[in-house]
Structures are given as structure tokens and as C-alpha cells.
Amino acid sequence: MTVEAAPTTATAPSAVADGVTARIISPRRLMWWKFRKHKLAVASAIFLILAYLATIFAGFVAPYDPATRSRNLYAPPQGIHFFDEIGQFHLQPFVYGWKMTRDLETLSPVYTVNPEEKFPVGLFVRGEPYKLFGVIDADVRLFGVAEGGYFHLAGTDHFGRDMFTRLVYGAQISLSVGIISVLVSLVLGLVIGGISGLYGGWIDNFIQRVIEAIIAIPTIPLWLGLAAAVPRDWPPLYQYFAILVVLSLISWTSTARVARGRFLALREQDFVTAARVYGASRTRIIAKHLVPNLMSYVIVTLTLAIPGIIIGETALSFLGVGLKAPTVSWGVLLQESQKVQIIQFYPWLWIGPAVCVVSVVLAFNFVGDGARDAADPFSR
């Protein structure tokens, strides 16, 4: 759905049909105006757009390769500084290097700031080569430090891998699961809900009872059962699609219900009766009169369904039946942090993915709220 550029005027122009020169206000534009009033939703939408852009350009945004190991294991996040230890201002921010010692009792590494080592942080620096979109050779990274230095914005894990990089690559899986399985539910929900609402009778009854049966099964055990049936020896990509299908199999039900309800309501509208009376075919009525009028509601349901799916993937991976290392997803990252040692001493390993999951889920909910208000621009 394309949205036209927002007019600069803050007040919504009245839709009075007077002068011929007045602008034509389409329902879509009305929705956009209404959505725009929901500031939190707009901010969340911008955040989500940035997050998805980051997953598309993961190689560029992440400073390292997700498998690259540094010598610093379990290094905490490095703070960015503008003032050095004697209080002198540097226009280019820098990070300090770490000095590692070992705790002689636990043998765990203890990092302290090494004031001798300063690595200036730059934008668009040359780093490790990578392939953009898997095909284009590139080596320019969004940010980083010059060769010989190291910069771990979100710390490193037990192999010394950069956590920020792993969060960005994890987002590729976690965020795309939401979108793709929602698209699967959109198709399933529209078709099944549409059949249910348009044909009625025993077909409707049958479909509704099936949906109720699916909803009645507790989600997590069902997911667990289905996910456990995915063969262990499948390559990661196959497992990813298998998990996707498992998640979609449940989320289409709510879409189907919304679609059915809207079909039932719209079917009785006078403009549909008029179309029947002037002889429009059934296909035409569905395509031109029913579907355009229910899409906005379906989109709202879908937006609100995405967070559930993201949490679903995270939960499955966390419980160990979803995706597995070496695949990186937020759930896998959380699963790797399930040790008392990590929870207590290396909190950046679980705070990072947790913050990501929570903020993305919240943002989707805010966007969904805004979209719900905007879905019916004619209601006052």
C-alpha cells in the first residue's frame, strides 16, 4: 500500500464539496491523516522501518561478521567517549581498549579500561569484507574502528563474537519470521474466512468449528509438538521454513475470523445490494466492493499478530525446539544465555536480545493501535 506524501498543513482540510479546485481526498489519504495523529504509532513505525532496513543491510550495519572471533571473550560493552582521561575533548569519539586479568578464584576474565589504548570510532570505515544481499562484494561498514583496534558496542560472547553484529543478524531471522508467516496467514485467513463468510451454511459452521478447535489447543504445547516433528538433520534454511509454517498454522485463525465478520457485515450493505441489482458478477462484487473495504481491518489484525509470531519464534528457540546455532536469532541468543553464570556475570548477553524483542513487540503493538484507529476513517 503506497501512502501519498503528507501535506505540510497540520489541520485536516475539511472535505466540503465546494470549489472545483479543492483537492481530491481519497479514503487512503484520510486514513493516513488519522494515523498521523497517533504520534507514538508514527514513531514506532519509523523505528520498525529502520529495524527492517538494518536487517536488509545487515552486512553494512554490523561492524563484524557474525562468526568472527575476537581474543576478548565475554568482554562487556565498550562505552563511546568524547572526553579522555585528562578531560580533553575529542571531536571524533573513541573507545578504550580492554586490559584483561583473570579472577583467580573463578578464573573468569575481568576487564578493566586500558587508558593507553584508544581506538577512534568512524562512520563508513573499511572493515572485514562481506557480501551485500549475499552477492555484492563490499567492505565498507556503517561504523567501526581502524584496523588493529576493536569495538564491541554490545560486548562479546563466550567465543569473543561481537554481540551487536549477532543482534543485527538475529533480527534478520526474528523479524522476517513475523512478516512472512503473517503473509501466509493473510492468504489463508482471507481465503478461508472469505469462503466462510460468503457461502455461510454448513461450510461456515464447519470452518468456524475447526477454527475453534485450533484456538482451543494451548499454543505453546502445540508449537512444541509440531516443532519437535521437524527433523534435526535438516539444513538451517529448511528448519527456518518449517518453523515459519508451524507459526502460521495458528495465526491465520484470527485473520480468518476478522475476514469472515467483515464479509458478513459488508454483504448486507446497500452498495453491495445495488451492485447485485445492476447485475455485477459475484467475482466483481468480491474484488471491487468487498475486499477493498475489508483490507484495512485485515491489515490491522495482521499488524497486531506479528508480535505474537516474533514472540513465538523466540519462545520456541529459547526452549530449544526452534532454530539452533549456528543460525542466529534472538531466541537462539537468549537460549545460549540460559546459564546462571551468564545471567549473573555477563548480563549484556541476554539484555541485548531481550531489549530487542521487547522494543520490536511494543512498536508493532503501537503501530497496530494507530492503524486500528485509522482503519475506519469515516467513523467519528
Partner 1 sequence: MSSISVQAEPILSVRDLKKHFGGKKTWSGAVSKTIRAVDGVTFTIYEGETFGLVGESGCGKTTLGRCIARALDPTGGEVVYAPKEGGAVDLASLKPRDLRPYRQDVQMIFQDPISSLNPRMTLLDIIGEPMVVNGLARGEEVKHRVGDLLERVGLRAEYMVRYPHAFSGGQRQRIGIARALALNPRVIVCDEPVSALDVSVQAQILNLLQDLQAEKNLTYLFIAHDLGVVEYLCDRVAVMYVGQVVELAETSDLFARPLHPYTEALMSAVPPANPRAARAPRLLEGDLANAANLPPGCHFHPRCGYCVERCRTEEPELREYSPGRFVRCHRAGELKLDGVAELAEADL
Nearest 10 degrees: CA dihedral of 7, 13, 17, 21? -40
- Site membership for partner 1, residue 281 (CB under 8 A): yes
Indicate the DSSP class of residue 162: B
- Site membership for partner 1, residue 203 (CB under 8 A): no
Pairing of strands 81-83, 89-102: antiparallel
**Contacting partner 1 (CB under 8 A), which of 181, 239, 293, 329?**
293
Quick one: which segment of 153-161, 185-193, 274-282, 332-340 binds partner 1 (CB under 8 A)?
A: 274-282
Quick one: which segment of 96-104, 149-157, 224-232, 268-276 binds partner 1 (CB under 8 A)?
A: 268-276
- Site membership for partner 1, residue 287 (CB under 8 A): no
CA distances, 305 to each of 70, 183, 187, 239, 298 (Å): 39, 11, 14, 22, 10
Give CA–CA dist 167/314, Å, rounded.
13
Task: Return the number of the residue (108 or 273) whose C-beta is nearest partner 1.
Answer: 273
Contact status, residue 161 vs residue 68, Cβ threshold 8 Å? yes
Give CA–CA dist 163/342, Å, rounded.
14
Task: Return the number of the residue (89 or 378) whose C-beta is nearest partner 1.
Answer: 378
DSSP bridge partners of 33: none
Shortest Å distance, C-beta 252 to partner 1 = 23
Residues 30-49 that bind partner 1 (CB under 8 A): 30
Here the cell at position 154 is 554490545
- Site membership for partner 1, residue 270 (CB under 8 A): yes
- C-alpha angle 151/158/59, rounded to 5°? 45
Q: In what side-by-side order are the strands of the sheet with 109-132?
A: 81-83, 89-102, 109-132, 136-145
Tell me how many residues contact partner 1 (CB under 8 A).
Answer: 30
Residue with grid cell 445495488, as numbered in its chain: 274
Task: Return the number of the residue (89 or 278) whose C-beta is nearest partner 1.
Answer: 278
Quick one: which segment of 72-80, 81-89, 271-279, 351-359 binds partner 1 (CB under 8 A)?
A: 271-279
Sorted by sequence, the CB contacts under 8 Å of residue 240 that are 6+ apart come out as: 173, 177, 323, 327
Shortest Å distance, C-beta 288 to partner 1 = 7
Quick one: which segment of 15-23, 60-68, 173-181, 350-358 binds partner 1 (CB under 8 A)?
A: 15-23
Here the cell at position 218 is 494451548
- Site membership for partner 1, residue 132 (CB under 8 A): no
**Contacting partner 1 (CB under 8 A), which of 25, 180, 222, 249?**
25
- Site membership for partner 1, residue 1 (CB under 8 A): no
CA distances, 100 to each of 104, 109, 154, 237 (Å): 12, 6, 17, 38
- Site membership for partner 1, residue 205 (CB under 8 A): yes
- Site membership for partner 1, residue 89 (CB under 8 A): no
Indicate the DSSP class of residue 4: P
- Site membership for partner 1, residue 17 (CB under 8 A): yes
Chain contacts with partner 1 (rule: CB under 8 A): 15-17, 20, 24-27, 30, 202, 205, 269-271, 273-281, 284, 288-289, 292-293, 377-378
